[in-house]
């Protein structure tokens, strides 16, 4: 019988509970070590696991089979680089890195070291999204619309770095954008940014954005909002012939952020397959670098030399966000 893989988790912030719970539930993993600079965060982790204040000490002493990186965005590069250089497979929270240039460094290192590097786009593992993806497979898609709307202050979990553009990378485009853009890539493949409108607050944080995209003959839009009263995460696909399919990522999951439990369980299931070599382990698995490049293209598009914004995107962001649809893809 194949022994469980020894997993270490670095970064015990708002997202780590989902990884820790999934690692304990899945038979293919054994949680062996955690790391955080904060002693109080380490003390909150139950069970007989090794605890470290420095990730380099963890890599040297715990010698895990794989590493989850769940730290602020600006620390992804050095931490992932150290793990890959040590030959340890990495599953890193989105975004892969703070910039596309940093992402290329990590992808190149993973390729040269032949070590799996996976970006955890957890929304592609959502049950409703997977059902929609199956129903659209092989069919002609006319358009895709993704809405990713929330009030960010309700989701911080004490992690104020989200509201620091230097650490987050910008705001909703840099942090939520990769998840939403990955959903479009899941359905359409390679994408081109065709327009973008962004509204920022007085601190330079993106609070709202609409990104226009094209994938082959299909068009797409991604709507992001960090000032939305409540939460709405959904996906709408129009097929040739006029049929419209929808996936509500929150439907059927009662409780705040309850949908994340099954999504992160699926993330670690696929990560285990990558580590064991059971599925192709191309560097930057699931398009971590591609998402960063789309994010940077969106930022460039939102700052044209003329200072104007393409009218369709500007009008879209000016409209009040629609209420979530109760409809969902049939299971």
Where exactly are the structural domains of the chain? Answer: 5-122+264-287, 123-253+290-318
Q: 284: pLDDT confidence band, cut at 50, 70 and 90?
A: low
Q: 279: pLDDT confidence band, cut at 50, 70 and 90?
A: confident
Backbone angles phi, psi at 276, to 5 degrees: -85, 0
* Sequence-ordered list of residues with C-beta below 8 angstroms from that of 325, at least 6 positions apart, any chain: 234, 236, 246, 248
Residue 318, pLDDT above cutoff 70: no
Residue 311, pLDDT above cutoff 70: no
| Residue among 208, 182, 181, 213 nearest 197 (CA) | 208
Domain 123-253+290-318: which topology? Dihydrodipicolinate Reductase; domain 2 (3.30.360)
171 beta partners: 206
DSSP-derived secondary structure for 64-76: -SEEEE-S-GGGH
Q: Specify the pLDDT at position 80.
A: 98
DSSP-derived secondary structure for 123-135: GGG-HHHHHHHHH
Cα gap 100→169, rounded to integer Å: 11
Cα gap 244→236, rounded to integer Å: 7
The pTM for the full model equals 0.90
The pLDDT tens digits for 107-142 are 999 999 999 999 999 999 999 999 999 999 999 999
Cα gap 247→253, rounded to integer Å: 13
How far, in whole angstroms, is CA 191 from its chain's centroid?
17
The pLDDT tens digits for 243-263 are 999 999 999 999 999 999 999
- Class of the CATH domain delimited by 5-122+264-287: alpha beta
- Mean pLDDT score of the chain: 90
Q: Specify the pLDDT at position 2.
A: 84
The pLDDT tens digits for 151-210 are 999 999 889 999 999 999 999 999 999 999 999 999 999 999 999 999 999 999 999 999
Residue 16, pLDDT above cutoff 80: yes
Helix orientation angle between 260-275 and 16-25, rounded to the nearest 10 degrees:
60
* Termini Cα distance of the chain: 34
How far, in whole angstroms, is CA 324 from its chain's centroid?
21
193 to 9, 42, 66, 196, 295: CA distances (angstroms): 34, 41, 34, 8, 9
Residue 312, pLDDT above cutoff 50: no
Please, is 55 exposed, middle or buried when counting C-beta atoms within 10 Å of its C-beta (0-12, 13-18, 19+)?
buried
Q: Specify the pLDDT at position 153.
A: 96
Q: 278: pLDDT confidence band, cut at 50, 70 and 90?
A: confident
């Amino acid at each position: 019988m194949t022994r469980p893989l020894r997993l270490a988790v670095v970064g015990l912030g708002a997202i780590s509970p989902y990884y820790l719970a999934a690692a304990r539930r899945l038979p293919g993993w054994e949680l062996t070590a955690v790391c955080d600079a904060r002693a109080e965060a380490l003390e909150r982790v139950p069970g007989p696991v090794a605890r470290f204040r420095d990730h380099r000490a963890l890599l040297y002493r715990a010698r895990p089979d794989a590493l989850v990186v769940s730290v602020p965005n600006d620390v992804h590069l050095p931490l992932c680089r150290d793990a890959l250089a040590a030959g340890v497979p990495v599953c890193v929270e989105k975004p892969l890195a703070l910039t596309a240039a940093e992402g290329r460094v990590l992808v190149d290192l993973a390729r040269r070291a032949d070590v799996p590097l996976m970006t955890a786009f957890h929304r592609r593992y959502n049950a409703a999204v997977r059902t929609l993806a199956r129903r659209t497979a092989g069919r002609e898609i006319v358009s895709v619309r993704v809405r990713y709307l929330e009030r960010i202050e309700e989701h911080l979990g004490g992690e104020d770095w989200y509201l620091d553009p230097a650490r987050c990378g910008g705001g909703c485009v840099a942090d939520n954008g990769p998840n939403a853009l990955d959903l479009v890539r899941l359905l359409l493949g390679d994408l081109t940014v065709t327009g973008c409108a962004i509204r920022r607050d007085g601190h330079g944080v993106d609070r709202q954005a609409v990104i226009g995209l094209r994938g082959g003959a299909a068009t797409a839009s991604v709507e992001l909002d960090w000032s939305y009263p409540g939460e709405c995460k959904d996906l709408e696909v129009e097929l040739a012939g006029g049929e419209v399919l929808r996936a509500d990522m929150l439907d059927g999951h009662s409780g705040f952020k309850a949908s994340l439990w099954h999504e992160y369980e699926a993330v670690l299931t696929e990560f285990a397959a990558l580590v064991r070599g059971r599925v192709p382990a191309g560097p930057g698995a699931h398009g971590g670098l591609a998402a960063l490049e789309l994010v940077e293209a969106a930022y460039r598009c939102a700052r044209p030399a003329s200072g104007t914004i393409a009218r369709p995107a500007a009008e879209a962001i000016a409209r009040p966000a629609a209420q979530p649809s109760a409809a969902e893809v049939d299971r």
